[in-house]
Structure 1
């Protein structure tokens, strides 16, 4: 048996075909030749490893002249198998039967060179007008350059088309992102919009609709070479399904209330399916249950089972009425803070009234409106179960968390004629529970200084009724008079608030006033002082249909005030009646323009003007009166030309409140014109009417508009300035 060997005929490099640039390349080829020579030696499975280095394997002649050494080839003696016993395999070795392995080398073979790949042809998008024929014989709705919907021409096949389009436009992913001409982006969005269209069809009861999506290019330019990619959806709504069976669970257990409750859920078998209608009617039924005495009613999520064979959907919405109840009383978890008795007075129901969820919610809002609690939750608690067809009874438990009770406030205002006005106050809103407020306030201004203390009891003897007792001392310096006054004022009223604006509000009270007043001469000196003691019983009533207290856009307000008064002056008593009437109207003429008008008239009858304290006479002029003139600067004058006040008053204002797009509509401009007159007599004589006009700016905030008015007197008097500026919170009227 011949010894196994490995033949490597191709290990010898074809050196003659190579050009060597330097000796380093020669050395590499010499090393390669030596390795090939070594590799050609017989190899046996049990050969001892050859640990010779590469330098020992390469003979000196191979390094000196590798070309010639390589041409010598491999010595024949080196190719034979050594006869030494160490190199022979044992006959029992399994490799002894192994045949000679020879690996031929494909001389002259070359690796074929691959031809470069041809670039793929660009994707051509067909135009809608030519290569993509309409799949629906209908009319196109071009939503945008990138989006086209096609509906059946016959509108009766899809009468919800307009509403459908509005909803799709609001939710479309294609419409959501900018048009950048990216086809890949458009294709992904088109798949999302296809799913959206299918969902919207199901909302309207079309469960067999067909939507075909295609992406193409639409010529959207005068230059025909400029094309934009677009998505097109051909929509066949199919048959609109109807409601089949309707299962409302145990609603019939509501007893006598069942007919009205079932009528509140207006879906009937045979009606066209609308998922919107299911949601709306579920809410209506829930409201009806809450308003008809069922505080524990529960409605499970509706399920709609679609039967394509019948083209109907069976609706199941389990309802558990839970029993009918009447109101009991309100209980409090903080009886020393806000007692249950006080909360029952706030509630708009009496014990024994049928439970209504709206009344419960109204009580929650009223408790929050006190400003004394940070949070409140109301829970019906059963005290008597329904029996023999009669409703049960539930108390309403109020679980409250107190809010911070102390408040420090500050206001600042400025008018060119009125000067600076700084006002601050500190208050504790529950110093005398329940809802007994104590406020300390002060005013430091150019024309007014005040210090006072106020006690106020909210929800006193009834809901929304407020008792106020105010004691203060003040000094007022105007162009017409100076006054040093001490007053004690009490008022019991039903007041309209920002949270609970009321159509009807009223108030009645008393005033005790001691004042020392003097008129101002033309050179700024004070004339002789006069002491007045005044007692009055003022009252008012107001009817308000406006839609907002601080920034009304619709409705009107009518207010009438009357104050019978007695004045002690010059050691004699004078009695008179002070009457005032106010009317304001607001009308929206467009989405951005509101016209507002105001009229005020007043009269004092029963006493000559000199027997009426200057501070209690009528004046006009200022930011809340006739803009463009100084505070109280309009009216009769004394012999020195200074305003002295009168016994009758007429004012009128007209302005347009125009919203601008600035700051997302928060800024409005307000052109306005005002007029006013004051007469010495108790009836207006209109001898001198002052007019003012100007332009204002309003900035809308969460607590009302900030107002800046610049006004000019149109027929100023000798002491009037040429311009006036007013800054305040809220509209002028």
Structure 2
């Protein structure tokens, strides 16, 4: 297994800390002939007049073949750390070297090298002096036993409590690493609390090294305490949040064996609601006579109302702004209501969204409703309309979500063929997957979106068709710090069941603009009519690639290229004539997310249709 330099430094820092803890924890119970080496005297500070003589030196560590172990020793070496602050005398240098030998010996033992030796050698006949730490790591010792002994009163013999290696995730013969030993000791108490013993804990441990067999045996002393089942859960600090709703979020049942993991899950579930700014879940100090352990959930409610504003700009759509008001606990059971007004030079929309969690008492299931209306004035069409939609959304896994719903909309649409009315009833089915690490600035992971919407209704006669669209986005960090990210997206769409001109213009596919193909005007990466207005298509294909490079804590640059087109045919042709655009952007990483400033040019510019360049300003990445 290999580690990057950054991760290797973090790993070995943890190993060094574990080594110091392991060597000092109850002496690990080493026998007389197996005692861990002790420090060779106290470390005496180097004291000298500010202008007094010094003994400069060079230091090297020899004898270690393993690169990771060599790095750990170098990072632990005080000789290396203090090299720019040389000691006042040769005697002080010897003390410093002896202390380093002991320190590196502890690091070696933490990695299972219990027969290791470190010999400091100083050549004082040269200037600067040469200090060599000659290391003989010796073999790596293995764990042969890890026994848990319970002090009185012990749990029943048939109790499901940790007693040996396997129960603590260890294997016989595995390297006797300090970090693994200490972690296993900690897991003793954790395992007890997860198996019905809420006050279980490890109270001490010893480790004995057998140099002849090159093995280690560990014995842990533990107190199980009384076993318990879950008692009643009480809530304190509630104001506007309904207690009955919170009780429905509890997954464990009163009378079930106590499990600390369930307590932790309850706290996380309550935090994720966003209703509280502080939560503690505390068991009672003692188990009741009935064997039940009550819990007390103490909360401090957060502010449930907020108002916000936003702004954006693009060359083709002009300046836009939105304002919203939100209530995140409308009826006392975590219902979310949001009213929003969005105004730009080309479109004005007023809408409201409602969301109710725990719909039909199913965790991860939401009832969602939307009502919105407005006007749009685009190159392709003018539209005035209203839409109402209701759906049920369900979280299928930590990354997958799906929804099924119904909607109805009325619109009056004007395009190159005149003004017509559209009345459509739709059955939207959607599914999406998201395992990215950040909503506004993803740097690792992927997103998938699928949407199928069958429509029936009236538009210049009865109509029946289905609009289908899928999109994938991938974010791949090129560096460990995720300051350089390769991001890509692909989108594809198709309308089946009706001809292009039989489908209302607002339901056709268009490409071009921010979030599509930058460099072209909004909806202009498609066929156009004699007035240079986009007609829209029955199918869609888009592809884009960005290289996101963060330069400082607040500034980044993003070169990008994108291609796409809306096609008149039902099946998109990615190998056909796509419209390509390219550009570069600047990112300002603000506390609320990246603010992007992009400039893009059309690589397939059409005379009197496409502008020489397009500008985009908004919050969040382009995709």
Q: TM-score, normalised by structure 2?
A: 0.76
Please name the residue that 1:200 is paired with: 107
Contact 2:407–2:425, Cα closer than 8 Å, also in 1: yes
Please name the residue that 2:363 is paired with: 463
Deviates more, 1:666-675 or 1:241-250: 241-250
SS in 2 for 1:624: coil
Shift in CA distance, 320/384, structure 1 to aligned 2, threshold 3 Å: closer
Deviations 1:689-730 (A, max 9, x none): 211122344556676554443322111223111222333444
Q: CA deviation at 1:505?
A: 0.6
Alignment pair present for 1:169 and 2:74: yes
Contact 2:325–2:338, Cα closer than 8 Å, also in 1: yes
Q: Radius of gyration: which is bigger?
A: 1
Shift in CA distance, 505/269, structure 1 to aligned 2, threshold 3 Å: closer
Shift in CA distance, 386/418, structure 1 to aligned 2, threshold 3 Å: farther
Shift in CA distance, 605/556, structure 1 to aligned 2, threshold 3 Å: same
SS in 2 for 1:253: coil
The 5 A counterparts of 1:171-570 are 171-177=76-82, 179=84, 187=93, 190=97, 193-204=100-111, 211-213=118-120, 216=123, 227-235=127-135, 248-250=148-150, 253=155, 255-258=158-161, 263-265=166-168, 274-304=177-207, 315-322=218-225, 331-333=234-236, 337-349=240-252, 355-380=258-283, 396-460=295-359, 461-494=361-394, 502-519=398-415, 528-544=418-434, 549-552=439-442, 556-570=446-460
Deviations 1:50-96 (A, max 9, x none): xxxxxxxxxxxxxxxxxxxxxxxxxxxxxxxxxxxxxxxxxxxxxxx
Please name the residue that 2:568 is paired with: 680
For 2:83 and 2:586, locate their aligned partners in 1 and report how far apart those are by CA, in whole Å. 36
For 1:172 and 1:628, locate their aligned partners in 2 and report how far apart those are by CA, in whole Å. 56
SS in 2 for 1:490: strand
SS in 2 for 1:360: helix
Contact 1:467–1:490, Cα closer than 8 Å, also in 2: yes
Q: CA deviation at 1:435?
A: 0.5
Contact 2:202–2:223, Cα closer than 8 Å, also in 1: yes
Number of aligned residue pairs: give it: 562
Contact 2:518–2:582, Cα closer than 8 Å, also in 1: yes
Deviates more, 1:450-459 or 1:715-724: 450-459
Shift in CA distance, 595/442, structure 1 to aligned 2, threshold 3 Å: same
Deviates more, 1:241-250 or 1:703-712: 241-250
Q: CA deviation at 1:445?
A: 2.0
Please name the residue that 1:114 is paired with: none
Alignment pair present for 1:603 and 2:505: no
Deviations 1:565-614 (A, max 9, x none): 233334x4322211112233445566566544332221222334444332
Deviates more, 1:623-632 or 1:444-453: 444-453
Contact 2:230–2:257, Cα closer than 8 Å, also in 1: yes
Contact 2:349–2:374, Cα closer than 8 Å, also in 1: yes
Structure 2's unaligned 5+ residue stretches are: 1-51
Deviations 1:121-176 (A, max 9, x none): x99979xxxxxxxxxxxxxxxxxx73222448xx7xxxxx6444333333333433
Shift in CA distance, 603/331, structure 1 to aligned 2, threshold 3 Å: farther
For 1:401 and 1:315, locate their aligned partners in 2 and report how far apart those are by CA, in whole Å. 44
Shift in CA distance, 382/517, structure 1 to aligned 2, threshold 3 Å: farther
Shift in CA distance, 182/722, structure 1 to aligned 2, threshold 3 Å: farther
SS in 1 for 2:379: coil
For 2:144 and 2:572, locate their aligned partners in 1 and report how far apart those are by CA, in whole Å. 75
For 2:99 and 2:387, locate their aligned partners in 1 and report how far apart those are by CA, in whole Å. 73
SS in 2 for 1:317: strand
Shift in CA distance, 647/378, structure 1 to aligned 2, threshold 3 Å: same
For 1:257 and 1:306, locate their aligned partners in 2 and report how far apart those are by CA, in whole Å. 29
Q: CA deviation at 1:621?
A: 0.9
Please name the residue that 2:5 is paired with: none
Greater strand share, structure number = 2
Deviations 1:226-262 (A, max 9, x none): x434543344668988879866332862634246765
Deviations 1:529-558 (A, max 9, x none): 333222222120124455655555555443
Contact 1:346–1:462, Cα closer than 8 Å, also in 2: no
Please name the residue that 2:42 is paired with: none
Please name the residue that 1:65 is paired with: none
For 2:148 and 2:464, locate their aligned partners in 1 and report how far apart those are by CA, in whole Å. 72
Please name the residue that 1:717 is paired with: 606
Q: TM-score, normalised by structure 1?
A: 0.66
Please name the residue that 1:641 is paired with: 532
SS in 1 for 2:518: coil
The 5 A counterparts of 1:554-703 are 556-570=446-460, 572-587=461-476, 591=480, 594-657=485-548, 659=549, 662-663=551-552, 669-684=557-572, 688-698=577-587
For 1:726 and 1:328, locate their aligned partners in 2 and report how far apart those are by CA, in whole Å. 58
For 2:491 and 2:137, locate their aligned partners in 1 and report how far apart those are by CA, in whole Å. 62
SS in 2 for 1:199: helix
For 1:423 and 1:184, locate their aligned partners in 2 and report how far apart those are by CA, in whole Å. 71
